Structures are given as structure tokens and as C-alpha cells.
Amino acid sequence: MELKDLYREIVNEHNLRPSHKGEMANPDLVLRGVNPSCGDDIILQLKLSADGKIEDAMFSGSGCAISQASVDMMADQIIGKTKEEASELSDVFSGMIKGEITDDDELEDKLDEAASLKDISHMPARVKCALLGWRTMKEILENPEKNEKK
């Protein structure tokens, strides 16, 4: 299968059957992330364990296929990680999307399926879509005072 087809397939799969979309019962951290240039609008919800790890991650809201697939893949990747590790993954993902990190082995090792979004680095109009979930995650982890939990 060609890489382009594989990328499309993965994005489709995450849109048709997202694993982490919905409302979490008792989130610890909640932050809305908006990408006005496309209309992507998500609410990210994180549950933390007693030892500071991300126990669960979910999102609600709506947006284009890339924004939704990207945040769904992100949730897969950060569950079980510490806040610091998750924040670091956001930097790796953002480095990939901005074309600053290009080592495929490193990207696949750290980002797993999310590495399939690498080609977005050649689609400037979609960069903000792909980054939305990841930058929202980093923002709430590093600035807990922004918590919108009710």
C-alpha cells in the first residue's frame, strides 16, 4: 500500500471509529481547543492517576477529519505516560508537523500511528488542524490554572 493511501486509511479509521471520543465521567483537567481557521473545536478531558500519570484521555466537539484523527491518535499515545512525557510527545509531534524532525524511526518509535500524519508538514493549511489536540494537551498540562473543569 502506498504511504499516501495508508495515511488516508488511518485518518478515515479514526474518524469512523474513534476510540476516545465522548464525555468523560470525572475528568481532572479540561480545556477547550479551537482552530478558527478551519472551525475545529474540541474539548479535551484528561484523567490523572494518583502518581501523576495520564490515566485516561477523551475529547468531544467537532472538526475536520485531520483534527479529529490526530487528537484520537494522541489519546492512544499519552495514556499511561507521565505529564512530562506527554508534553514531550507534543513537542515531537509538533516538530514533525513543522518539518523539524524527519527521522522516521524516531517518529514511529515515539508517536506510533500518529507518525502517519508526517506528510501534513507539506500541507500548510492543515498544520493547525493536526496540531490542535496536541497543543491543547500541552497547554493544560503545563498551565493547570487554565483548567475549565466545572
Judged by the rule CB under 5 A, the positions of this chain that interact with Zn ion are 38, 40, 64, 67, 129
Least distance (Å) from Zn ion to the CB of residue 150?
26
Least distance (Å) from Zn ion to the CB of residue 131?
10
Among residues 31 and 130, whose Cβ is nearest to Zn ion?
Answer: 130
Least distance (Å) from Zn ion to the CB of residue 86?
22
Instruction: Confirm if 74 and 93 have CB atoms less than 8 A apart.
Output: yes
- Residue in 123, 120, 31 with CA at minimum distance from that of residue 70: 120
Amino acid at position 141, single letter? L
Among residues 118 and 128, whose Cβ is nearest to Zn ion?
Answer: 128
Among residues 64 and 75, whose Cβ is nearest to Zn ion?
Answer: 64
Least distance (Å) from Zn ion to the CB of residue 122?
16
Among residues 35 and 110, whose Cβ is nearest to Zn ion?
Answer: 35
